């Protein structure tokens, strides 16, 4: 029998990178001499970089978004990413799942370069079978649903023995499109709650220890 496979979102699910990301956005607008059209708060964390920059700029001009993107990457990749912290209990949960023989992967909207920096920084390099991001291909994958679908094919995942864990409705939608069961990490930025869906659509975990118990019961 294939091992049970758990695919995790990253930001807001395993790691609290809000302050580092928000500082990167503020730095990007400052470097470009611009003022964002909306407040830079934690609720913007999660979507792809370009999408968030267009939201903050109130503009989709390609040249402007390219300037902001370069400024953000410079700020974030030269130190900001390493300010990221794991949520309490996440490291212990991940190692318990690996010790139980599960395969663990990441499917994130975060760019692949800072994702790998963070995984190394947190000492998780030996935990994950694979790390998938939108920009792992050129041109980038269009959305998280496409990325998750590619992961399932490449890893030969049996969706009857797998689950996606995330904190945003986008994560649930990516799982739904791929017929993959979904668990909402309710401690994250997205703070999904069952009242937004139904018990038949997703399950909730209110802490990493509760998620660990839920997942270990699958084996």
Q: What value does the mean pLDDT of the chain take?
A: 91
5-16+85-216: what CATH class?
Answer: alpha beta
Q: How confident is residue 46, by pLDDT bands cut at 50, 70 and 90?
A: confident
pLDDT (tens digit, 9 = 90+) per residue, 131-168? 999 999 999 999 999 999 999 999 999 999 999 999 98
* Contact yes or no for 41/22 (Cβ under 8 A): yes
- All structural domains of the chain with their residue ranges: 5-16+85-216, 18-82
* Contact yes or no for 187/206 (Cβ under 8 A): yes
Q: How confident is residue 18, by pLDDT bands cut at 50, 70 and 90?
A: confident
pLDDT (tens digit, 9 = 90+) per residue, 201-217? 789 999 999 999 999 99
CATH number for the segment(s) 18-82: 1.10.150.240
Residue 21 has a pLDDT of 86
Angle at 81 between CA 77 and CA 84, to 5 degrees: 180
Q: With CA atoms as reference, report the closest residue to 179 among 191, 161, 192.
A: 161
Which two three-digit tokens encode residue 137?
């291909």
Q: For the whole model, what pTM was predicted?
A: 0.86
Q: Matching CATH topology for 5-16+85-216 and 18-82?
A: no
């Amino acid at each position: 029998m294939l091992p049970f496979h758990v695919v995790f979102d990253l930001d807001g699910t395993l790691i609290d990178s809000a302050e580092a990301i928000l500082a990167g956005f503020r730095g990007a607008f400052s470097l470009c001499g611009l003022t964002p059209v909306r407040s830079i708060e934690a609720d913007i964390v999660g979507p792809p970089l370009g999408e968030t920059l267009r939201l903050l700029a109130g503009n989709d001009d390609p040249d402007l978004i390219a300037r902001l993107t370069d400024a953000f990457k410079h700020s974030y990749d030269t130190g900001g990413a390493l300010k990221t912290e794991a949520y309490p209990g996440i490291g212990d949960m991940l190692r318990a799942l690996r010790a139980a023989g599960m395969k663990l992967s990441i499917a994130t909207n975060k760019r692949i370069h800072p994702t790998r920096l963070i995984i190394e920084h947190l000492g998780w390099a030996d935990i994950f079978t694979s790390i998938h991001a939108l920009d792992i291909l050129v041109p980038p994958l269009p959305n998280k649903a496409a990325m998750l679908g590619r992961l399932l094919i490449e890893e030969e995942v049996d969706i009857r023995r797998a689950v996606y864990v995330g904190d945003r409705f986008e994560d649930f939608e990516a799982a739904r499109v791929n017929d993959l069961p979904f668990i909402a990490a309710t401690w994250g930025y997205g703070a999904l709650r069952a009242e937004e869906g139904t018990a038949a659509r997703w399950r909730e975990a209110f802490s990493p220890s509760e998620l660990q118990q839920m997942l270990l019961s699958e084996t």
